[in-house]
Each structure stands twice: as C-alpha cells, then as structure tokens.
Structure 1
Amino acid sequence: MTIKDQQQRWGSCTANQQVLLNWHIFLAPMQAIDYVIAHELAHLTVMDHSEAFWDTLSMLYPEYVASKEWLRIHGRQLYI
C-alpha cells in the first residue's frame, strides 16, 4: 500500500496488486476512508467495475453506498 498525492482518484489498484491511496481521503470521515480502502481491496479480486466487483465490495463493506455518495457530494472539500 502506498500513500500518494493524486488529483483525480481517491485510490487505485495496479495490475501487480499494489494499492495506492490519495492522502486527502484521510481528511474524510472514517466511513469514507473505509469505503475507499474496501473499494481498492475488492479490486485485488476483481479488477474492473463489473457486477462481480460491486458484489465483492458489498461483502467487504455493506454500507458502501452511503459513503460513496458522501464522497460524491463532499469530496472536493477535502482538497485543501
């Protein structure tokens, strides 16, 4: 896992299974942080955003929808 300064993403997962997280996510509420980490960990199993991915994410973090929506609405405020 690597912490980076990214302008476009909260996190990403590379083909070699390296998880990258944007340091700005750590300014968010814990639920949003949990969502981003679970999202990237789900990519270790399913690399795309197919139905299988969202099913995997739902198993890891069942409350992901509310956290994803919080980031959509408030995420830009985390860039200081």
Structure 2
Amino acid sequence: VPGGVFWRLLVGSVVMLGFGFAGETGMMDVQLAFWPAMAAWGFIIWEIFKGEASQINAGLSNDHVQKAYRTMTLLVTV
C-alpha cells in the first residue's frame, strides 16, 4: 500500500478525533467541533469506498483480504 494512503487516512483520523475531543471536553463549542469532525469522517469513508484505498483493494485477488476489507468498511461506517 502506498504511503500516501496511510498518511491520508492517518491525518483524517487525527483530525476527526482531535475535533471530537475538543468538542467533548469543552475546548471548543460542540457545534463548531462537530462539523469538522464529521467532514474528516466523511473523507475517511470516501477514501475507503471510492478513493485510492478502494482501488488498491479492488485489484487484489485474495478472498480473505477482500472479506477483511469489506468488514473494515462496515465497522468504519457504522
């Protein structure tokens, strides 16, 4: 997997968690923290369903990897 996929997903996760933490702890107004956190979560969802991570997975032929990827997308979405 290219490093770019890792870094995009890592940055998206850190942004999502950072704004979520800021909203939960009162460091930011909850409404102001909610929208950037949701945008970061949406970016992660897009990356695993339509982005480069999805394209890489589609090119793999291992059934176990395909099943694990589908499970991961379900867990991240729900």
Scaled by the length of structure 2, the TM-score of the pair is 0.35
Say which structure is richer in helix: 2
Where is the strand percentage greater, Structure 1 or Structure 2?
1
Larger-gyration structure (1/2): 2
TM-score (norm 1): 0.35
